[in-house]
Amino acid sequence: MLGVCYYPEHWPEAWWAKDARRMRDMGISFVRIGEFAWSRLEPRRGAFDFGWLDRAMDTLGAAGLKVVLGTPTATPPKWLMDEYPEIAPVDQQGHVRGFGSRRHYTFSSEIWWRESARIVEIIAKRYGEHPALDGWQTDNEYGCHDTTQSWGPEDLKAFRRWLRLRYQSTDQLNEAWGNVFWSMEVNSFEDVVLPNLTVTETNPAARLDFWRFQSGQVAAYDKMQCEIIRKHSPGRWITHNFMGFVNDFDHWKVGENLDVASWDSYPIGFVEKFPFSQEEKNRWAETSHPDIAPFHHDLYRGVGRGRFWVMEQQPGPVNWAPWNPVPKPGMVRLWTWEALAHGAEVVSYFRWRQAPFAQEQMHAGLNLPGSDELSAGGREAEITGREIIETGELPATEQAAVAIVYDYETYWASVIQPQGRDFQYHDLAFRWYEAVRKLGVNVDFVPPGAPLDGYRLVLVPSLMMVSDAALQAFSAAKGIVLYGPRSGSRTRQFAIPENLPPGTLAALTGVRVTQVSSLRPGLEDAVCGSVSGAAIRWREYVETDGEVLARFGNDDPALTAKGLHHYLACWPDQDLLQQTVAHLAAKAGLETIALPDHIRLRERGGVTFAFNYGTEVWASPAVGTVILGEADVKPQAVAAWKD
């Protein structure tokens, strides 16, 4: 189904009923409202104005629309910031990040938690059983604008408390952090300072613990809101709208609080955000890269334990990227169908009408600013709404044959100690995902330690710290497993394992890493054997008691195998990565198809979808009945067929 984000407080009340009717006529079923409305709901402490929201929900419900109500905690009002200025976050340089936009709070403030709980409970009590209410969204885009971490007095106080519970004594803290180095030992938890504003780099173990602490704060804060909502709104589901390429907190942990995950899909904007080459950015500027949206669809389907929404779908140019081009005709429709093919229950567009004022006035909506005229994206959404009805209900999404283990702590650790400037975990994981998708194979994302039953190929792009649960899952795996560089390279205390990397993975992989080398741009080490290509960015010098499938130019092992477990001792270039994944997919007995780089397939319960991001018609291998589009898939078009 389709949804839309709507802000009744932005428009004359006389427009609401007509807007609601037009939404229904377009095939829209869900409307998200309220996530930024605190100042309108409580303009002064204790002085509430619910009348407008009562009428808005009644109006939307009367039109047959289902409401998703957001808690308004992403935008604490000015009067609250004036009462309690300590709520404001502090950046890593010690500067207060003040009022005037959004997400201006630190998760560590006890006062902020109290005020958040107060407003969430008031709203949940009032609207928890409203007949139009279908579900809830907690807050809005945790971590957006670099707001997971804060570096102020409230954060230091909470961090010290967290460390006391974790380590019990400063002796254990000093040992875990290796504080004997550079005389960093402390005699009291009150001696602990935040890991910033130092002369040179801060202790990596302290930084990792600070990141763990702040990530845990996000999850606990979200859990607090969810518990209040469930108390007063039984039978309604709860989600949070995550973002693309934001890894500052553990989404798996927040997902444990939720009934369904959701995310905000801005495929073209993310082209500018991701470390693509200029050539790639130019190529995909008006369509997005074919794997940006699908990567996150599959990730958040995993975070939601099989259930996810797209809460905000890009309907046209956005306002926040360095460059904001208009999507090519057809792309809004393509992105919508692509999300549904990957299992989305609802695709919700942002927003109903373009705002003619404030920070997002350059951000497109389904309607032009201040009018009832559909935008180009709005017309595509209208077409898609009709197609969804004509196509009918899609089959359930099934477990994929390939799993990618995605780990947020590895992202944090690689930021803390990259060793090479361009070693970026999310870039590595994305490229591994891209390599699988180019073979036309479905992918699931799983957290470290999740059972791997039923997966014929398990990809671990990098897993720097291997938990006991993860080691047990890998040991029990019945499919092919491939580990990438730096896997098992650190203990939980951010130290090199005594037996050298890959630490606890050594028995499974038969590998021992003795040296690592970061390769600056332009340097590479050739690889040849069962697969060929080159190591770029990073390579490792390994010893192995297993089989060597490929070697570096100096005859050192590059790709090894010991039973089901394989180790790739480098950051592979495109050729090496594609050949390695294809080789292991064949070894796992998977059916693959070598796709052009602008074509992607997604199979959903016997229905196969094809998406064309390119400039040429693609003759699909459609077998069976075409239920959407044409077998010859035109540029920026989608096709689907049943077996």
Would you please indicate which residues are annotated as catalytic (active-site) residues? 141, 312
Q: Is the peptide bond before 502 cis (omega within 30 degrees of 0)?
A: yes
* Residue (of 406, 397, 399) closest to 605 by Cα position: 397
Q: Is the peptide bond before 602 cis (omega within 30 degrees of 0)?
A: no
Q: Is 120 helix (H, G, I), strand (E, B) or coil?
A: helix
- Indicate the DSSP class of residue 609: E
Q: Which residues pair with 512 in a beta bridge?
A: 543
Alpha-carbon distances of 36 from 32, 53, 69, 312, rounded to whole Å: 11, 12, 11, 15
Whole-number Å distance between alpha carbons of 123 and 111: 19
Whole-number Å distance between alpha carbons of 570 and 611: 32
Tell the residue number behind the tokens 């967290």, with chain if given. 162
Q: Is 429 helix (H, G, I), strand (E, B) or coil?
A: helix
Whole-number Å distance between alpha carbons of 42 and 50: 8
- The pairing of strands 565-568 and 557-562 is antiparallel
Contacts of residue 99, Cβ cutoff 8 Å, sequence gap at least 6: 78, 81, 88
Q: Six-digit token pair at 36?
A: 């930024």
Whole-number Å distance between alpha carbons of 345 and 239: 12
Alpha-carbon distances of 470 from 299, 405, 611, rounded to whole Å: 18, 10, 35
Whole-number Å distance between alpha carbons of 571 and 577: 8
Whole-number Å distance between alpha carbons of 530 and 560: 10
Q: Which residues pair with 541 in a beta bridge?
A: 515
* Residue (of 537, 571, 574, 540) closest to 557 by Cα position: 540
Q: Six-digit token pair at 351?
A: 């927003």
* Residue (of 609, 218, 205) closest to 394 by Cα position: 609
Q: Which residues pair with 611 in a beta bridge?
A: 600, 638
Are the beta carbons of 45 and 83 closer than 8 angstroms? yes
Q: Six-digit token pair at 26?
A: 């377009």
Are the beta carbons of 455 and 402 closer than 8 angstroms? yes
Are the beta carbons of 228 and 121 closer than 8 angstroms? yes
Tell the residue number behind the tokens 């998406």, with chain if given. 611
Whole-number Å distance between alpha carbons of 409 and 476: 23
Tell the residue number behind the tokens 């006890």, with chain if given. 110
Whole-number Å distance between alpha carbons of 288 and 388: 23
Whole-number Å distance between alpha carbons of 247 and 245: 6
Contacts of residue 203, Cβ cutoff 8 Å, sequence gap at least 6: 177, 178, 179, 181, 184, 195
Are the beta carbons of 262 and 239 closer than 8 angstroms? yes
Residue 604: CA atoms inside 13 Å, Cβ hemisphere, count?
21
One-letter identity of residue 62: A
Helical ranges in 392-478 per DSSP H? 408-416, 425-437, 468-476
Q: Six-digit token pair at 519?
A: 């390769």
